[in-house]
Every structure is written in C-alpha cells, then in structure tokens.
C-alpha cells in the first residue's frame, strides 16, 4: 500500500533555503538584515512573551490600522500574512486555480513557480532581458485568455534590477483589468531610483494592482514571519478566505508595530546596507566579475560556467552565498566586516591567478 499523492504535486519543486553559515562565517545567502534586532523592538516583543498562551488577534487590527493610515487606504484592503511569501500564496489562491496561468519573469523569486503549482495553476515564466531586467513587452505578449495574475518583482530577486516607475505604469495600463498585477516590493527600501514606492501609487490609480511588502528584509524581522499586502477589495476579501487561520503571531505583530515606530533608526541601517551593496558591486567589477548594478540588498553575478568557482572562493574566505548552478551567484549585502571579507577573498584569488 502506498499513501496517496495529490495530482500535480510531482511538478512542485521543493523550496531551497539559503545555506546556513558555520560559526564565524558571513551569512550572505538569504538577503537578511546583518543587524541584530533594534533594542526597542526586542523590548516590545519581550513585554508580550507572557501572553503566548493566547491566540493572536487574527485580524491584526492594530497593525493593519496603522498601515492603512500610512498609505491612506481603507483598512479592509490591507492584509497581514506570515511573511509576504504567504501573501503571495494567498493572492494566487484568490485568483487562480486549475487551468489558469500565473506569469512572472525568470529568473525571479524562487517561490513563485512552486506557489503557482500548489494552487493547481500553470506557471508562465518569461525570460529576463539581456540586462537581467523584466522584459515587459515579452510579458505583455505572453498574456493569454487564461492569464489570471502577473507578478512583477521590483527590485527583482536575484538580479537586483528595477523597472522604472514610468515603464511600470505603461505596463499596468496595458494589462487587461481582468488580470491582477502583483508588484512584489520586498526590497523597495533599498531602491534609490524613481521606482521607489511606485507600487502603491499604481495601486491608487489602477483597479487591478496589488502590492506586497515584508518586514523580513529592511526591517530585519525575517525570523518572525510578517508581511502585508494592499489589494483591491474583492481580492483582499478572498485572501481572507484562503488564509490559514492564526498564521501571524502576536509577537510578529508586536515587532512590526515597534519597527514602524523605529523607522528613523532603521533608515540609518538601510543606508549602511545600501552603501555596502554598492561597495560590493564595485569590488566584484574591479575583480573582473560580471556583477550587475543592484537596487536591492544583494548583488547578482551572472558568472555562468564560473559560478561554482566564485561560490567556492568566497566560501573559502568565510562568506556563504546563494549559488544557482551554471547561472550565477547572489551575494547579500552585509555589514562593513562582511564586505571586507568578500574583498579579502576576491584579492586572494587575484594573487593565485
């Protein structure tokens, strides 16, 4: 006797987490914040530890209310999830099922293809252009009567490229309004171009746009699992139907609220990560690697055949990265010390060569 497997699950790739780092190494494999939690955030979480015998507020009312004020949107349009990856799943389940298509660029966020397959829908992956950025014309051309949603990851993971505000506006205007355009802005805080914040503006102007934000990256709460979506009313309603109840803990909601209060302090940290990202890019280019200029908290090196070589030389220098075999290496920005290590590893290789 064998236990049953749901039809279609064979096609779902398992999510691969960024490598863990041995003690003392720099973990630049998962785009996390290199900074420990802010003292005020730790204190707020600590204050709530005595309540963990209770279920959390499933509606995350306080956090949603604050986000609604900040973005000047109706609170019903704001949904909180256990990381924005859960919200991406909710959005897909809200609009697509068997026989439907969900489009995204490729390479982009690794979770998209699995989430689409888990919903029983068909992933449509449109190759990035030669500049490692979204090919919006090709994406428009790939729309079919079965397309239900299109993800635009901006800045894109793992390439760090952005779609400008104007290009994104033209794209959204050209996508039929029966299709949901999801703008995944997990890395928006590191974007120093005019596409910073474009998602919310597009949400205001078009009826078929949803935006995803997370507290995992710039806010440094990856371990607590919390993010939010702002979506059209009927989509947000259906998100609530497909959500796993009580997915977002009280500690996560508390930490998110405390983080919103500490944004000035967080901004300084984000500036440092951006500075080190640009330094990382420059170091790689100077060492002869084809690094792509980035607006996220990581740098993509489409090293092709030399992917394993780059991953190994960095690992030998105590730096753990995310390698996509035969394609490239994604290196997260880190602290000054982390990027010093990258510099040392790259120089060591020059000495050997």
Ligand X SMILES: *Cc1c(COP(=O)(O)O)cnc(C)c1O
User: Where on the chain is the footprint of ligand X (CB under 6 A)?
Assistant: 31, 83-85, 109, 153, 157, 184, 186, 214, 216-217, 222, 227
Q: Minimal CB distance to ligand X: which residue?
A: 83
Residue 127: CB minimum distance to ligand X, A: 17
Q: Which is nearer to ligand X, 68 or 222 (CB)?
A: 222
Q: Give rounded-to-5 percent helix, strand, coil for the chain.
A: 45, 15, 40
Closest CB 93 distance from ligand X, rounded Å: 15
Residue 78 or 346 having the CB closest to ligand X: 78
Cβ proximity to ligand X, 212 vs 291, nearer residue: 212
Q: What residues contact residue 240 under an 8 Å CB cut-off, 6+ apart?
A: 79
Nearer CB in complex with ligand X: 134/217: 217
| Alpha-carbon gap, residue 168 to 170, rounded angstroms | 5
- Residue 67 or 287: the one with the smaller Cβ distance to ligand X is 67
Residue 247 vs 302, nearer CB to ligand X: 247
* Minimal distance, residue 57 CB to ligand X, in Å: 19
Q: Which residues of 298-332 are buried (b: 16+ CB within 10 A; e: fewer)?
A: bbbbbbeebbeebbebbbebbbbbbbbeeebbbbb
Cβ at position 212, least distance to ligand X in Å = 6
Shortest spacing between CB 318 and ligand X, in angstroms? 24
Q: How far is the CB of 299 from ligand X (least distance, A)?
A: 14
Total length of the chain: 353
Q: DSSP strand E in the chain: where?
A: 26-27, 78-81, 101-106, 122-127, 147-153, 180-184, 209-214, 227-230, 298-301, 319-320, 322-324, 328-332
């Amino acid at each position: 006797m064998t236990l049953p497997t749901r039809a279609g699950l064979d096609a779902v790739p398992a999510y691969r987490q960024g490598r863990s780092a041995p003690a003392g190494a720099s973990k630049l494999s998962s785009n996390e914040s290199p900074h420990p939690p802010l003292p005020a955030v730790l204190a707020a979480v600590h204050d709530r530890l005595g309540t963990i015998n209770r279920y959390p507020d499933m509606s995350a009312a306080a956090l949603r209310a604050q986000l609604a004020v900040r973005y000047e949107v109706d609170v019903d349009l704001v949904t909180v999830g256990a990381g924005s990856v859960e919200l991406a799943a909710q959005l897909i389940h809200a609009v697509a099922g068997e026989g439907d298509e969900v489009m995204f660029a490729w390479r982009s966020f690794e979770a998209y293809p699995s989430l689409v397959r888990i919903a029983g829908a068909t992933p449509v992956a449109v190759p990035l252009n030669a500049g490692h950025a979204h090919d919006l014309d090709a994406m428009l051309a790939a729309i079919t009567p079965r397309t239900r949603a299109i993800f635009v990851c901006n800045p894109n993971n793992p390439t760090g490229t952005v779609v400008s505000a104007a290009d994104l506006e033209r794209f959204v205007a050209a996508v039929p309004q029966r299709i949901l355009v999801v703008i995944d802005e997990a890395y928006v805080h590191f974007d120093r171009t005019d596409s910073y914040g474009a998602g919310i503006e597009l949400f205001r102007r078009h009826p078929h746009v949803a935006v995803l934000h997370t507290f995992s990256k710039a806010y440094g709460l990856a371990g607590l699992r919390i993010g939010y979506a702002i979506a059209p009313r009927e989509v947000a309603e259906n998100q609530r139907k497909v959500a796993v109840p009580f997915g977002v803990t009280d500690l996560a909601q508390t930490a998110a609220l405390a983080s919103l209060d500490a944004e000035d302090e967080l901004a300084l940290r984000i500036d440092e990560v951006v500075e080190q990202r640009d330094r990382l890019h420059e170091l790689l280019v100077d060492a002869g690697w084809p690094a792509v200029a980035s607006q996220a908290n990581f740098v993509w090196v489409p090293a092709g055949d030399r992917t394993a070589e780059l991953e190994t030389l960095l690992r030998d220098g105590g730096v753990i990265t995310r390698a996509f075999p035969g394609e490239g290496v994604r290196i997260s920005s880190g602290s000054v010390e982390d990027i010093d290590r990258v510099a040392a590893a790259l120089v060591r290789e020059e000495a050997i060569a």
